[in-house]
Each structure stands twice: as structure tokens, then as C-alpha cells.
A and B are shown apart, each in its own frame.
Chain A
């Protein structure tokens, strides 16, 4: 602990408790999960909330979601927080989604479709520009961007802007990006085990790392009861 005490401090080394009270906001301990100072928005899944720093999605940090392919349940994972945001009357910005968001399904997840603003641009530079503008404006409660080819300096730039924002910022990237460095404080690798379970591995977070993936039972809302009954292929 003596390494922490700078020469200007009194000779008697401060106890750990004293140091912690003195620099409460400026140091975080590596062994517990870091806390976010701001209002977090619960992810809606208990297991995930326990693993996320601060107990939910944090508005002041960039969240990277690494996805091997669309259709694993990524929207269902975000839907409880998105639902809460639209219910508060705030808007959601989608920047270049890979497919057309199908609003009847989003409505089924209780997300108000009138609160969705979608932007379709192709060039990566324009996408980044739109993301930046969205983060800087106070208009959105959540911003979701699809940026396959983003580089590390770009993520750093985004993360710096996000620090002052009041919206959740999610960035979807391909799973291959897990081996590239990124400035996002929270990186999550999504993978499917068996529908409707989603495996969530926190590659990077503030606080101690966890290696084991978390298994999240996705809401069965889009699937009525016949989900479990195995369908038979009449004409196959």
C-alpha cells in the first residue's frame, strides 16, 4: 500500500480505510466490480445486472456488443431497457441497422415504435459522424449503432464524447472484433447456446474480470406457447 502514498503525505502511512475515504471518487478497487457514479438503467435481467458495473447499462460509457450474426436475440436482450426509455418519452436512434427493423415485433416487445428514429448511411465516416451528432444532442435516450469497420482511435473518440452524454450508447460489431483493442469500457460477446437462451460473455468491464459466460433466458414474449411444441414439417 505504501506505493499509493505520495511523498507529500504525512510520514505515518495512511491506513487503507483512510486512503479510501480520502480519494473516494478517484480510486476504484480492482477486486470488486466498479461502480458507475451516474444513473444506470437496469438491463432487465437479474444475472446480467449483477455482472454489469453499477448494476445496469451506464449512460456515460460506450458499450460494445460483439455479435457473430444477427438473429441471436440481441434486440430481445436490449428490449427491457429500450422499453423503459420509450416509456419515459425519450427517443431511440438506430444508425445503419443491418436489416429493416420490423416495428410490429418491436411493439410486441413494448417498445414504442413512434419513438424510433432510423438513419441509413453507408459510408463508415458518415456513420461515425451521425453517431457523434446523436450522442452530442440531448434528443435520444438510447443510441444503437452498427459499425463493422470501426478502428480503435474511433472508439476512443466516441468514448470521450459519450462520457458527457445522457443516453445509452450501444455499438454492434462483428464477433471477430473481440481480438482487436477497443476503448469501450464495456465489451460483451454474445453467443447463442440454445434458443431462447443467450450466452453473454463480458470480455471487458470496469472492475474484476469474469471469465464465465452468463446465460440469460430471453423473454418468451415473441414466442407464444407453441414455441415449445415441436413443429412437424408436413410437406418435407
Chain B
């Protein structure tokens, strides 16, 4: 077993700091009530610069810096922040335990997939730190040991206790880190014990009598001498995360960081479920006021192909958000996975196959239609009709699935039109000038083939009766031109039209 513990010593401030845009974090301090007095529990950097420090009475702190933002210690919100961070950690291991102000993860099964302990530790640290927590990390063969090491580590550092160094590292730890030793710290210090090694040298019977059995159990579990069952964090079957913002945001750029966090959480949750998302909703919540009626702006994103790739989902969301206008200041964000499906891991293919080519086509379609709109990207369907303008139709490519692609493959080739047709068709037939009974396009046209009569469409409202010719001009362009052949009306006039070009 190998455990990585992530301890967040500043959790009581981090949970609220992460709701601010980085540039706008004010001087803040978390407080705790002790009897009648309120004390500063933790102060953030800007507050510390003003002289506010932990263990000060609140009145002292406010007299030092009157604009201090005071946050009451809120274990519920802290747990919520930690839980969200745990979602991000699920990307690396399904075994996550919530412990006090941090997480403990069991990673022995994930080492190979993520390229070794060092890499995995870095990735895990990064993923959780992206959630807005400041971490210190401990690695050890026991859960308790990793947690103790993480608690003793300075901010943003890693103590690696894997392997033979574990015992000596553990022995040198101070006693105040042990949770069960908290009531007896004075006594233990009084008998001259400073480190865990000192404590372990004392007779066990005496220790158990003086300090209760819990201290010995904790000590043994940390060393790995006693089994240490853990209760893994369990998550619900659905994904719905809501983030409140501390400031009114009106630009997309500023919600970018929380969006990234939420997508990270969703991808962690998806990989825990071995699933991929097919459809998700992103909702911008607006503050309610009488002046603006919008309560929220929902954004539904349908994927043509399941995905659990955070980068891809971010890209889609970015394109959609970039095109959207924010109608009112945003105060909250919500992300919901509407539809999920069993996922596959496409990165395990050695050679690109037709499957992966179809995947990349779908991704391309998604990317383009999320930026330019679905009408911008089309395929063309051939329809058996003699009238050129009716013989093909734009086919939206928005939702072409793999099954679609295969049935496209199986479909017989469209009816082959054996007669001469131009590669380019004009949007609408272009009326040509006529000089001396000769149609002109650039220069007078020379007819080189024809006529070919197309007379069709009497069954619907667009009948045509035309004589088509192939013509050439001096530039060398080959044109497909026609003349209305309308015997009924008798105006067999000079109207020449350009319908296409032979590309």
C-alpha cells in the first residue's frame, strides 16, 4: 500500500478565497470563538502584511486594520470545498479518504498508469491545488503515517517517506501532531517526550494506563503495526456542482478559473464511474433584482461523441461562452452532467484506425459548430432530380455518430448521372449580357457542346424547361449556360443564364 496525504493547513481561508478572482482577494481572517472571546484563527497574506496574526483577539486585529474581512470558521463550507477537491483527485485513484482538513489517497494501483510515484504525486498535487487549495504533501506506506508527514511539511512541499526512510522520518515527528495526544500535550512535554521516537520508547502498559488506549492505537497504526481500516469517500450517482462567486462577474474571462475547476471535478467524477459525458449543462446564475428579470442563463452542450477529456470539454465551453453575451452580472455557476455513458479510453490505440479518424472528425465538427454555429458545416447529399438546383441538398453534419458513419459507408453510391455536369454551381443562375445575339461572360462565349434539354418539375411548383450548352470564353473558362425554353408562353427570348462552371 502506498498513500499520498494532502493536507491543507489554510483550509479555513482557502474555501472562501477560491471564490474570488485572484486579483481581487481582500485582506481576510478566519475567526474562532473561545468562550467569550473571538480570536483570529488564520489570516491570509494581505492581512498578515497589515500585522494581523493568528491567536490575536479580533478587537486587536480590527484596530490594526479596520477594513479586515472577517470570516467565521465554517466547518460545513470547508468540508464542501474539500469534497470538491476530492472529486478532482478521483482522476488518479478511486480510493480517497476525507480526513480533517485534507485528503488521504491510496495510489499503489495507479503508479504504473501515471508513470511512477513522482509524476503521479505531481499530477495529483496539481489537480487538487487547481481547486484553489494550498497543500502540503506526505507520502508513506501507511495512511496515518502519510497524514502525519503531510501535517509536518511546510506549505507547498512534499515529504516523501516511501521506502526505508519512513521509520526514521516518522520517529522525528513532534508529538503534537497526534490527534489522540491533544489533551495530554502538557503532561507529555513534562515527562520529556518531544518526538514520536521518545514516546515509543516508553513502556506500552504505562502509556495505555496514563493516556488511554487511543494513543497507542494511533501510534501503532502510523507505524503500520496495527491494521487501519479506512472509510472511502463515496459520491452520488449524479453530477451536479454549484459554485458561488464572491463578486459580481460580468466578463467571461473572470469565470474561467471556476469553470476550469468544475470541469476538473466532473472529469474526476466521470473517471471514478468509468463513464464519459454525452450532454452537459452549464448554468450562469444571476443575482435577482427587479430591474433585470433573468434569473439564470443555461447553456446546454451536446457532444457528438462521448468524452471525458477535460481539455476538450473546456474548449467546447470556451467557444460557446465566447459567443455568448452575459446579460447580467453572474453570481453563481452550476455544472450538471445530464447524460453519461460507459466510457472508453481512446488513447490506448497503437495505430490510428478508422474509428479514431471518425472520432477526430466528430471532434472537428463539434469544434467548428460550437464556434461558427451548426449551419456553417455541412455535407452534401445527392438527390435524384434532373433540375440542377434540386439535385443536391446540404446535410447538417452536427450529429454524425459512428453508427451513422458506418451506414453511410454501407449505402450504395448515389445515382450516377452520366451526363456532363459542372463541378461548380452558382448560388442562383446568373443572367448574362447579350451582345449581337451572343451571350457574354468576360468575353463573348463560344458554344462548344449542346444543347441538352432539361424539362422537369411539372409536378411541383418549380418547373423548368431549359436548353443547356457548354460554352467557353477567351480566358479558358468552361461555362454551363442555359436558355429558357418556354414554348407555351412563346417567348423564346434571348435570356441566357449562367448556371455553373466546369472546375
Q: Is the pair A138, B501 in contact by a Cβ cutoff of 8 Å? A: no
Residue in B357, B365, B409, B426 whose CB lies within 8 Å of A90: B357
CA distance A110 to B168 in the complex (A): 75
The smallest beta-carbon distance between B314 and chain A, in angstroms, is 16
> Which B residue sits closest to A72, measured CB to CB?
B476
Interface segment out of the listed A11-19, A21-29, A94-102, A201-209: A94-102
Residues of B within 8 A of A76 (CB): 423, 502-503
Q: Is the pair B416, A118 in contact by a Cβ cutoff of 8 Å? A: no
Q: Is the pair B419, A75 in contact by a Cβ cutoff of 8 Å? A: no
Q: Is the pair B423, A105 in contact by a Cβ cutoff of 8 Å? A: yes
Residue among A91, A98, A114, A223 having the largest count of chain B Cβ atoms under 10 Å: A114
Given known pairs A70-B477, A100-B427, A194-B476, the reply for A139 and B364 (CB within 8 Å) is yes
Interface segment out of the listed A46-54, A156-164, A225-233: A225-233
Residue in A73, A104, A118, A230 whose CB lies within 8 Å of B378: A118
> Which B residue sits closest to A166, measured CB to CB?
B352
Residues of A within 8 A of B470 (CB): 223, 227, 231
Type the 1/0 row for B202-219, where 1 means its CB is closer than 8 Å to any CB of A: 000000000000000000
Interface segment out of the listed A2-10, A32-40, A129-137, A179-187: A129-137
Q: Is the pair B477, A120 in contact by a Cβ cutoff of 8 Å? A: no
Residues of A within 8 A of B397 (CB): 117
Interface segment out of the listed B137-145, B268-276, B289-297, B368-376: B368-376
B window 375-397: CB within 8 A of A: 376-382, 388, 391-392, 394, 397
Interface segment out of the listed B45-53, B191-199, B442-450: B442-450
With an 8 A cutoff between CB atoms, is B260 at the interface? no
CA distance A97 to B378 in the complex (A): 12
Q: Is the pair B367, A133 in contact by a Cβ cutoff of 8 Å? A: yes
Residue in B414, B417, B425, B472 whose CB lies within 8 Å of A195: B472
The smallest beta-carbon distance between A148 and chain B, in angstroms, is 16
CA distance A188 to B411 in the complex (A): 37
Residues of B within 8 A of A235 (CB): 483, 492
Type the 1/0 row for A68-79, where 1 means its CB is closer than 8 Å to any CB of B: 111111111000
Given known pairs A73-B503, A117-B377, A118-B379, the reply for A101 and B424 (CB within 8 Å) is yes
With an 8 A cutoff between CB atoms, is A107 at the interface? yes
Type the 1/0 row for A136-177, where 1 means its CB is closer than 8 Å to any CB of B: 011110000000000000000000000000000000000000
Q: Is the pair B411, A114 in contact by a Cβ cutoff of 8 Å? A: yes
Q: Is the pair A129, B371 in contact by a Cβ cutoff of 8 Å? A: yes
With an 8 A cutoff between CB atoms, is A217 at the interface? no
> Which B residue sits closest to A226, measured CB to CB?
B449
With an 8 A cutoff between CB atoms, is B469 at the interface? yes
Given known pairs A138-B352, A138-B356, A223-B420, the reply for A103 and B447 (CB within 8 Å) is no
With an 8 A cutoff between CB atoms, is A55 at the interface? no
The smallest beta-carbon distance between B380 and chain A, in angstroms, is 5
Residues of B within 8 A of A230 (CB): 448
Q: Is the pair B424, A224 in contact by a Cβ cutoff of 8 Å? A: no
Given known pairs A117-B397, A139-B357, the reply for A192 and B475 (CB within 8 Å) is yes
Residue in B357, B365, B419, B422 whose CB lies within 8 Å of A102: B422
With an 8 A cutoff between CB atoms, is A42 at the interface? no
With an 8 A cutoff between CB atoms, is A124 at the interface? no
With an 8 A cutoff between CB atoms, is B360 at the interface? yes
CA distance A223 to B421 in the complex (A): 9
Residue in A97, A104, A117, A133 whose CB lies within 8 Å of B382: A104
> Which B residue sits closest to A224, measured CB to CB?
B420
The smallest beta-carbon distance between B328 and chain A, in angstroms, is 29
Q: Is the pair B478, A108 in contact by a Cβ cutoff of 8 Å? A: no
Residues of B within 8 A of A192 (CB): 475-477
B window 283-320: CB within 8 A of A: none
With an 8 A cutoff between CB atoms, is A116 at the interface? yes
Q: Is the pair A101, B379 in contact by a Cβ cutoff of 8 Å? A: no
> Which B residue sits closest to A94, measured CB to CB?
B380
Type the 1/0 row for B316-359, where 1 means its CB is closer than 8 Å to any CB of A: 00000000000000000000000000000000000010101110
With an 8 A cutoff between CB atoms, is B437 at the interface? yes
Residue in A70, A116, A193, A226 whose CB lies within 8 Å of B501: A70
Q: Is the pair B368, A130 in contact by a Cβ cutoff of 8 Å? A: yes
B window 472-503: CB within 8 A of A: 472, 475-479, 483, 492, 500-503
Q: Is the pair B478, A71 in contact by a Cβ cutoff of 8 Å? A: yes
CA distance A185 to B405 in the complex (A): 35
Q: Is the pair B420, A191 in contact by a Cβ cutoff of 8 Å? A: no
The smallest beta-carbon distance between A203 and chain B, in angstroms, is 18
B window 221-237: CB within 8 A of A: none
The smallest beta-carbon distance between A225 and chain B, in angstroms, is 10
Type the 1/0 row for B261-283, where 1 means its CB is closer than 8 Å to any CB of A: 00000000000000000000000
Q: Is the pair A222, B502 in contact by a Cβ cutoff of 8 Å? A: yes
Q: Is the pair A134, B364 in contact by a Cβ cutoff of 8 Å? A: yes
| B positions within 8 Å CB-CB of A | 352, 354, 356-358, 360-361, 363-365, 367-368, 371-372, 376-382, 388, 391-392, 394, 397, 408-409, 411, 413-414, 416-427, 437-438, 442, 447-451, 469-470, 472, 475-479, 483, 492, 500-503
Query: Apart from A100-B425, A103-B382, A126-B372, what 7 extra A-B contacts exist at CB < 8 Å?
Result: A118-B377, A126-B371, A192-B476, A222-B421, A222-B502, A224-B418, A235-B483
The 9 closest A-B pairs by CB, nearest first: A192-B476, A71-B501, A75-B503, A139-B361, A99-B424, A105-B421, A71-B477, A75-B423, A102-B425
| A positions within 8 Å CB-CB of B | 68-76, 89-91, 97-109, 112-114, 116-121, 126, 129-130, 133-134, 137-140, 191-195, 222-224, 226-227, 229-231, 233-236
